[in-house]
Amino acid sequence: MNTHNYILQVHGLNIYYGSFHAVRDVSFDVLPGEIFGLLGPNGAGKTSTLSAVEGLLKPQSGSIVVAGNDINKKPLHAKAAIGVQLQATSFQSELTVSEILQLYAGIYGMSMSREKIFSILKNIKLEESSGRKFGQLSGGQQQRLSLAIAVLHEPRLVLLDEPTSGLDPQSRRQLWERMESMREKGHSVLLTTHSMEEAEAVCDRIAIIDHGRVIATDTPQSLMDSNKTNPEVIAASRRGKITLEDVFIGLTGKAIRS
């Protein structure tokens, strides 16, 4: 297998928190220009998997290769290839929008002229907020800025951890369009989400994780097609027609997770 065909390869990942086995032998790959979704109930291991890919968490075993760079052997090279939007979007609330852009441009070794800052802010409809402090922005504006910073250095892989949670429908649609535009530019996207609508709307492939294990990986349509005769999926169906949510409930169960 040619490792450079994939932008991300996760193989045999295991993560423990004390004696709790949070991620169990998880493996998946992301192709260039692909939007790949990680779906799972609360506590399934999505964020732990993503944190390991981001280099925030050291797995007990398994390998993660980003753009040909092993995250353990060449962490800085791997990190240079990824752009990240964390679940809790936070920058220093005392800094203004343009100061935050300058900070991250500097961290990624880029020079940032006023014109460039204006163009980025115009693109995310924040051109009139360049002098506003981060803490004064609305949730949607913070999210847009966070995404702009995640792609500031044109990363080959963009990691988004539940990017649309708490957003209104307009902002959510706008974010989906941005993800699709990233895909058109050749960026790969790995996102975690609870929203089946989102997974169906933007993901090329998805992996369903439950109790730390990947229980299914395929395109949303193939998952629906291959599970249409599954009795648990049929039992979960509410409208006669099998949806991705029915497949998800059928495979992961109806019990509410913590």
Partner 1 sequence: METIPKTSTALSSLLRADLVTQWRNRRSFILLLLVPIIILISWKGIIEKFGGPFALSTCITIGLVAIGLMGYSNTVARDREKGIFQRLRVAPMPAWCIMASRLLIQLMMIVLLTTTIFIAGNNIDHIKLSPSGYIISFLTAVVGGAVYLGLGQLIVGLIQNPETVNSTSRLTYFLFIMIGMFGELGVLGDQIKEIVLWSPYGTVKRIIAAGMQPGTWNQETTTALLLTIAYAAVFSFIGIKKFKWNNK
Is there binding between residue 258 and partner 1 (CB under 8 A)? no
Please say whether the dihedral angle defined by the alpha carbons of residues 140, 144, 84 and 219, taken in this order, is positive or negative: positive
Is there binding between residue 25 and partner 1 (CB under 8 A)? no
Is there binding between residue 5 and partner 1 (CB under 8 A)? no
| Residue closer to partner 1, measured from CB, 142 or 174 | 142
Is there binding between residue 77 and partner 1 (CB under 8 A)? yes
Is there binding between residue 138 and partner 1 (CB under 8 A)? no
Other beta carbons within 10 angstroms of residue 169's beta carbon come to 8
| Residue closer to partner 1, measured from CB, 1 or 76 | 76
Long-range contacts (CB closer than 8 Å, 24 or more residues apart) made by 51-57: 52/10, 52/13, 52/15, 52/23, 53/8, 53/10, 53/82, 53/159, 53/190, 54/79, 54/82, 54/84, 54/86, 54/159, 55/79, 57/15
CA distance readout (Å), 80 to 70, 74, 149: 12, 10, 13
Q: Nearest approach, Cβ of 158 to partner 1 (angstroms)?
A: 12
| Stretch binding partner 1 (CB under 8 A), from 24-32, 50-58, 222-230, 231-239 | 50-58
Is there binding between residue 56 and partner 1 (CB under 8 A)? yes
Please say whether the dihedral angle defined by the alpha carbons of residues 229, 231, 233 and 235, taken in this order, is positive or negative: positive
Q: Out of 43, 68, 140, 253, name the contact with partner 1 by CB under 8 A.
A: 68
| Residue closer to partner 1, measured from CB, 4 or 122 | 4
> Which parts of 86-115 interact with partner 1 (CB under 8 A)?
86, 88-95, 99-100, 102-110
Is there binding between residue 201 and partner 1 (CB under 8 A)? no
| Residue closer to partner 1, measured from CB, 54 or 198 | 54
Q: Out of 79, 116, 132, 194, name the contact with partner 1 by CB under 8 A.
A: 79
| Residues near partner 1 (CB under 8 A) | 54-56, 67-69, 76-82, 84, 86, 88-95, 99-100, 102-110, 156
